[in-house]
Amino acid sequence: MEFVPLGEGTSVLIGRYEVRARDYDKWLRATGRVWEGKPAFLIGGETAAASVSQENAKQFCGWLTLEDRSDGLIPAGAVYRLPGAREVRPAQCLGNLQHGRQRFRVV
């Protein structure tokens, strides 16, 4: 995953692209879950994950945090999370400027 600054004067980074279906599938397999309501159009791994509940998205962020810490990709104090209320609009603008609709990103 690639991250970019959310905006001017902030240390918050956000995923440049939406979470891919293949990354979300990896979490599902690792945790023994099933993608309830998975859209039929999600046939490729590069497609953005869609029809993901907020609770599952939060759990994915927690799992990804632990995975990336374990692999040494992020420092001990760093965490992945969903954008907060004040970050949603800048995140949507970033998505629109870069490649269309914003779906499911991690901060």
CA angle 65, 78, 21 (to 5 degrees): 35
Encode 84-102 in three state secondary structure. Answer: CCCCHHHHHHHHHHHHCCC
Query: Residue 96 above 90 pLDDT?
Result: no
Tokens of residue 92, six digits? 């949507």
Please give the helix or strand (H or E) that residue 17 lies within, else none.
none
d(CA 57, CA 65): 12
Give the tens place of pLDDT for each residue, 20-66: 899 999 999 999 999 988 888 877 678 888 889 989 999 999 999 99
Q: Decide if 107 contacts 83 (C-beta within 8 A).
A: yes
